[in-house]
Structures are given as C-alpha cells and as structure tokens.
Structure 1
Amino acid sequence: MTSILLKSAAVAFISVAASLLLTLIVVPAMGFPVSRTIWLSSTVCPLVLAWVASASTFWQTDRLKSAHRELARAHAQLAAAHRRLQEKASRDDMTGMLNRESFFAALDGSRRKSDRGALLIIDADHFKKINDSFGHLTGDEALLLIASAIERGVRGGDILGRIGGEEFAAYLIGATEQEAKRVAERIRREVELIRFRPVDERTIPLTVSIGGTLCAEEANVSDLMRAADRRLYQAKHRGRNLTILDADIPAAA
C-alpha cells in the first residue's frame, strides 16, 4: 500500500508541475494575467485528480498482478496433482510396478528409440496352491516378496510391470543375449532364495518360471509377447523353476 501511495504521489506532483508549466506558457500567451485563482486551479485540480486516478490505477494493477501470481500458483499445483494422479494410475496398487497397460506403453516407447533389448515374462509357480491353502492375503505377501526379488534381479533402468495376477514382465533395455540370460537367471535365483514362512514357521518354497526373447528389429510388441509366452510355456512344461531364453533350455539349478 505504501508503494502505491508513493507512486501515485509522484505522478500527482509531476502532473502539477506540468500544469503549472502550461499555465505559465498558455495564459500569458492569451493575454490574461496569471491570477491567484488560476495558480490555485492549476495546482489543486491536477494534484487531486492525478493522485486519485493514479492511486486507483496502481491499486488495480497490483491486484491484477496478485491475481496472476495466485493463478500461476494454482496452475502449478494442479499440474503437480495431475502428474501424481497419472503416476498413480500407471502403477499396480500392490507392487508399485507399472500396470499392464503402462508397461506395454513403456515397452513400445522404448522400442521406438532402440531395437536392441530382451523381453522376459516371469510367472510364479504353483501360486494357486498358495492362495487355496493359506488365503489371498498370504498370497499377496508372497507376491510382494517375488516382486522385490525381481527388482533385485534386474539392472537399473530396466522396465518392470505386473501384467497379470501372478505374472510379471521385464524389458531389459539394450541387453545382449548373454546379459538377458544372466538377468533372467539372477531373478530366478533371487526368488528361489526367498524363505517364505506364512504360518507355523514352515517354509513354503517360492519359484518362478521365466520365458524370454531377444527383440528382433522388425518385431512389434505383440510378436515379442507371443515369443516370450512360448518360452514361458516351455519352462512350465519342463518342470518350472526354469529360465528359457529363445531356443536355450538350461537345466534348473
């Protein structure tokens, strides 16, 4: 408020100076004497009018600037909330991994940048038996342990998603065949090492079967999923707790 009064006072005094200057030039030029009344009118009128008008203008301008700042702040808060909602909508509620739709979108986006990489599909073995024997809450605990093991097994920057009830997927960005095999086997081993004791201190084994495929340059996401699914089916058919990448069929540890 003080700033507005000072600025409007400056405008008022400039107006008075300009009015007096014009009075000294114009009135004598018209052949009239500069009387006390003319001096008073030339001083008071611009002083009052300019002060009130400029104060009102500066006050409105200040309010408008404040409104713009508030609007910008609200817009920033809304954008941040929108980003948080988008992030939440893209994540699986239980594991925090990307959900199915978001995983495939991220996979497709990564494929557009680089054709090199490998896709792994990871499925928990005999998981229905855990749900049937101990209930779905215990099954959820087991899923969280498996999800954590998968996260430990992949490399930084790889894309992870939960694409089904007990099915996960990992896209290994830029991975060679040997790197993909090492990551797949590391995931399998991390899950196998879990000591899951839901009740009575009895350890329930947790294992996963993994099917994977290298990303051919011309293959789309559907092609990659079908190829990895075939390898996963082979891993399940050959006894589970197994990783199969392309035509390679290693023995389970």
Structure 2
Amino acid sequence: MRNDPPREKSPERLSFTRTVFVTVVAIIVSWTVTSICLFVLPLDPAYTEQFAWPTLTIATIVPFLVAIPVTIVLQRGRLKLERAMRELADVHAELERRSRIDPLTGILNRDAFLKQVNQLRVEGTNGAMLMIDIDHFKMINDQYGHMAGDEALRGFAGALSQAVQGRELIGRLGGEEFGAFVPCEDMETAHQAAERLRLAVNRMIFTPRPGILRRVTASIGVAGGTPADTLSELMRRADLSLYEAKAAGRDRVIVHAAA
C-alpha cells in the first residue's frame, strides 16, 4: 500500500514587493488628495504656494511611515492564517488516513478494505477473495508474549504488502485474520496470487526473542465470484476454504470447490 506524498509547503516570508507596492499606492493617493485640497479649496494663492511643498512632503512621509508597518502586520496575519489552514488540512488528512489504516500493521483496516473491495466490484471488476490466517498465532502469544505477537502481525502484514501486485488489495480483518482481493478473470490467477502471498510469508524473518528465529506460515482460503455475488457470500466461501487449509495441515492454499 502506497503512502500519500508529503504536502508541499509554500515559503512563509513577508513579500518586500507587496510592501513597496502598497506604500507607493498610499503615497500616490495621499498626494492626489492633498493636491485636490490645495487647489480646489478657496485659499489665497500666496498661501497655497507657500504651504504646497511642506504639505506634499508631509503627504509623502506620513503614508510612508504608516503603510510599511501596516502592510507588515497584515502580511504576518495572512501568513499565520495560511499556516493555520495548512495545519488544519494536515490534521484532517491525518485523521482521514487513520480512519482507513490499521494502527498496528499499517495496512487497510477492515472497514476500509471492504469498502475498497466493494467499490471495485461495483465498477464491475471480477476477482477472488482471499482469507489469510497466521498459523498457530495463539502459540506465539502464549510462548513469547503479546508484544512478540504484535511484532509477528506487523511482519506478516509487511510481507503481504510487499507481495501484492497491481490492483490487489490487502487488509487486516481482525486479530490474526487478514484479507486480500485479487482482480482476475480465472481462479488459476487467484491461486497463483495466493501462493505468492503464502511464499512471501514463509520468507519473512521473525525473531520473537534475541537469538531465536521462528518460522511463520499462513493458511489461505480462496473463493471467486462475479460482481453479482454478495461480498458476504464471497467471504463466507473463502472462509470455508481457509478452514479446509487449516484442517489439511496449514501452510497451504485451498481454492473453494464451487469457484
């Protein structure tokens, strides 16, 4: 399963160009208003000529002194708002990701997995459902503890994740039970995909304690169907195949006879 790419963040810095632009505009407006006042108001021409340049000088200095700090304050406010909006978007994205991901294994959780499988089937995608169990998982917990069991689950999910191809999906359904969906038109393709996953689990390295290497295997039940079949029926048939795989000695793939 692919991780979402990191969000690119725009540089957080004040715009010198914007500050200069606002300052120039403020000076132009101040000059215009001042000029209108000097030449439109009924003043003595002598007074107008005498006070024109001092007034225009003030009309230049005041906007300059005011526009720059005001622009900086406004830009800082804008940057804070943009930063807050980005942080809010990141939090929303993280919450959305967590709603789909199993926190222990990092793969799709049950709801997200079944939702994506349903979506593929609604789109008309034929495929097979795989029900996958870690063999003798209870023995791992009992012998090495639950922390070792969690490590086994993480390694198991990692092995499956690296082995899936194309549009294949995997998810944790609960406990030591995992599911996979293989888009395909024939059961031979589904069988080959299941064997690929089983062999990937066989190759995983699991050390429940320092210096102890324990082999991990998987039993896999496979059931095929068309988009017309209900997902619950597809999972029920895959479950039957999984029970057959366990009864036959584990570490094997069983394809449902009706498929």
- Normalised TM-score (structure 2): 0.74
Secondary structure at the counterpart of residue 174 of structure 2: coil
Structure 1 equivalent of residue 198 of structure 2:
188
Instruction: State which of 221, 225, 229 in structure 2 corresponds to 1:211.
Output: 221
Instruction: Tell me how far 1:57 sits from its aligned partner.
Output: 7.7
Q: Which residue of 2 is the match for residue 30 of structure 1?
A: none
Aligned counterparts, 1:5-44, within 5 A:
5-22=23-40, 34-37=44-47
Query: Is 1:240 the equivalent of 2:258?
Result: no
Q: Which runs of 5+ in 1 are unaligned?
A: 28-32
C-alpha displacement of 1:207: 1.7
Give the aligned partner of residue 231 of structure 2: 221
Q: How does 1:6-155 map to 2 (within 5 A)?
A: 6-22=24-40, 34-37=44-47, 63-64=73-74, 66-155=76-165
How far is 1:96 from its partner? 1.0
User: Quick check: which has more Rg, 1 or 2?
Assistant: 1
Which amino acid in the other structure matches residue 98 of structure 2? K
Render the CA deviation track for 1:155-212: whole Å, top value 9, x for unaligned.
Answer: 1442211111111111223564222111101112222344645459665442211112
Which amino acid counterpart does residue 33 of structure 2 have in structure 1?
S
Residue identity matched to 2:35: A
- In the alignment, which residue of structure 2 is the partner of 1:162? 172
User: d(CA) in 1 for partners of 2:131 and 2:194?
Assistant: 9
Distance 2:103 2:111 in 1: 14
> What is the percent sequence identity of the aligned residues?
32
Deviation at 1:38, TM superposition (A): 5.4
Structure 2: unaligned runs, 5 residues or longer: 1-18
C-alpha distance in structure 1 between counterparts of 2:67 and 2:51, whole Å: 23
Quote how far apart the aligned CAs of 1:121 are. Answer: 0.9
Compute the displacement of 1:65 (Å). Answer: 5.2
* Total equivalences in the alignment: 241
User: Does the 8 Å CA contact 2:102/2:172 hold for their aligned counterparts?
Assistant: yes
Q: Aligned partners of 1:40 and 1:94: how far apart in 2? A: 82
C-alpha contact 1:11 1:54 (8 A) present in aligned 2: no
Give the secondary structure class of the aligned counterpart of 1:163: strand
How far apart are 1:64 and its partner, in Å?
4.3
- Give, as a single letter, the amino acid of the residue that structure 2 aligns with 1:9: I
| Contact 2:198 2:252 (8 Å CA) reproduced | yes
CA contact (8 A) 2:223 2:234 kept: yes
Change (3 A) 1:18 1:227: same
Give the Cα separation in 2 of the matches to 1:203 and 1:84.
36
- Partner AA of 2:219 in structure 1: S
State whether residues 12 and 47 of structure 1, in contact with CA within 8 Å, keep that contact through their aligned partners in structure 2. Answer: no
Q: Is the 8 A contact 1:11 1:51 kept in 2?
A: no
The CA distance in 2 between the partners of 1:154 and 1:12, in whole Å, is 69
Please give the secondary structure, in 1, of the residue aligned with 2:128. strand
